[in-house]
Amino acid sequence: MTYNPPYTITEKTVTLIADIMELITKIAMSEKVEINPKLRRIYRIKTIQASLAIENNSLSIDQVTAIVNGKRVLGPGQDIKEVQNAYEAYEILLTLDPYDINSLFTAHKILMNDLTKEAGRFRNGNVGVFAGEQLVHMAPPAHLVPEQVKALIQWVMSSEAHPLVKSCVFHYEFEFIHPFSDGNGRMGRMWQTLILYKWKKIFGWLPVESLIKERQDQYYEVLGICDKSADSGKFIEFLLQAIYDTLCDLGQTEQVCVQVTEQVLKLLEAMENEPLSTSELMERVGIKHRPTFRNNYLLPAMEKGMVEMTIPDKPNSSKQKYIKTKS
């Protein structure tokens, strides 16, 4: 029997799709974001940190960056392992087939390696989703999971709905089925990225998870509303708004990406071969606004591997300083 997920397309949904398409066209015409490896790496790290933070991972963006760069970091062992696994999973994600269950298993096995005994296979038992001690969703029985996931993937493949809508419906239905014993949120967000990437390449690097993290309470609230109404329309609206807002941020980033190289060069010129604190570096480049300095000077220089921390194990140390990387 063919499965047709229940969802409602509202006027807001149609408007968001049109607005998203307009932004994608503008960004694609510039071609800058698509071919910029530095921005891709920054967005990938943001995606990993945000998606894990939604699941209560405690590591900061600086710590995640350090782990990705092969540095030692002090933190909970499980949190560090989650970052390492997520980075490995995202490294192969775009080579996978979003409509192949074996690809789904491959991604989950990497993502949850050493974190759950059931990594890479569907759950054997029944599970519920809790908010504190309150049960907010009881997933379908385990014996139904294989057929439900198969039917969902078949629907995504065959449906004539807009790709943006299909990806959002998949995300919701995947969370409703909750096919794995753990890692369902991470997998759902990651697989939506893969579905959209096969449609438009820009989605392979778009850090939508960062905005979902900022709206985490709303994310879970909308999931609950859709469960009660048996209709994922509100969840579609929520995710499309997050995609639209992320694309807006991406467009603004693209407008300043040419300046980033100049700012990094200015920072490097201001540095000598001695460790300097953030305050000392800000004074040398003439920047008083710490977030501007961090986002436009320091982080890009670190992402390029031109500047490194003197205490990488403790990114937030009050004694932290920065020095030019030895060539």
Dihedral, CA atoms, 178, 160, 27, 190, nearest 10 degrees? Answer: 10
Q: Going by C-beta distance under 8 Å and a sequence separation of 6 or more, which residues neighbour residue 274?
A: 323
- Please report the pLDDT score of residue 289 as a whole number: 87
Q: Are residues 275 and 171 in the same domain?
A: no
Residue 291 domain-assigned (yes or no) = yes
Host H or E run for residue 53: helix 37-54
How many folded domains does the chain comprise? 2
Fill in the DSSP letter of residue 140: P
Q: What is the pTM of this model?
A: 0.76
Q: Are residues 235 and 260 in the same domain?
A: no
Write the pLDDT tens digit of every residue in 35-50.
467 778 888 999 999 9
3-state secondary structure of 3: coil
Assess contact for 309 and 57: CB atoms under 8 A. Answer: no
* CA-based torsion, 67, 70, 71, 74: positive or negative: positive
Residue 272 domain-assigned (yes or no) = yes
Q: Are residues 271 and 245 in the same domain?
A: no
Provide the pairing of β-strand 134-138 with 307-309: unpaired
The residue out of 227, 252, 277 marking a domain boundary is 252
- Please report the pLDDT score of residue 131 as a whole number: 65
Residue 4 domain-assigned (yes or no) = no
Q: Are residues 303 and 220 in the same domain?
A: no
Residue 149 domain-assigned (yes or no) = yes
Helical packing angle, 77-93 and 37-54, nearest 10°? 130
Q: What's 272's domain CATH number?
A: 1.10.10
Q: Are residues 117 and 211 in the same domain?
A: yes
3-state secondary structure of 205: coil
Q: Are residues 89 and 187 in the same domain?
A: yes
Tokens linked to 245:
């807002």
Res 34 pLDDT > 80: no
Q: What are the phi and psi torsion angles at 100 (to 5°)?
A: -115, 120
Straight-line distance from the first to the last Cα atom of the chain, in angstroms, rounded to the nearest whole number: 62
Q: What distance in Å separates the CA atoms of residue 34 and residue 271, rounded to the nearest whole number?
A: 31
Q: Are residues 80 and 67 in the same domain?
A: yes
Q: What distance in Å separates the CA atoms of residue 186 and residue 104, rounded to the nearest whole number?
A: 12
Question: How confident is the model over 112-138, as a mean pLDDT?
Answer: 86
Provide the pairing of β-strand 322-324 with 307-309: antiparallel
Assess contact for 51 and 189: CB atoms under 8 A. Answer: yes
Q: Are residues 283 and 212 in the same domain?
A: no
Mean of all residue pLDDT scores within the chain: 89
Specify the higher pLDDT residue, 188 or 294.
Answer: 188
The residue out of 230, 252, 274 marking a domain boundary is 252
Task: Please state, in angstroms and as integers, the Cα–Cα distance from residue 217 to each residue in 204, 244, 316, following that order.
Answer: 25, 19, 27
The residue out of 252, 270, 293 marking a domain boundary is 252
Host H or E run for residue 131: strand 128-131
Q: Are residues 100 and 192 in the same domain?
A: yes
By residue range, what is the domain housing residue 302? 256-324
3-state secondary structure 245-301: HHHHHHHHHHHHHHHHHHHHHHHHHHCCCCCECHHHHHHHHCCCCHHHHHHHHHHHH
Residue 193 domain-assigned (yes or no) = yes
Specify the higher pLDDT residue, 61 or 255.
Answer: 61
Specify the higher pLDDT residue, 13 or 262.
Answer: 13
Cα 311 to the center of its chain, rounded Å:
27
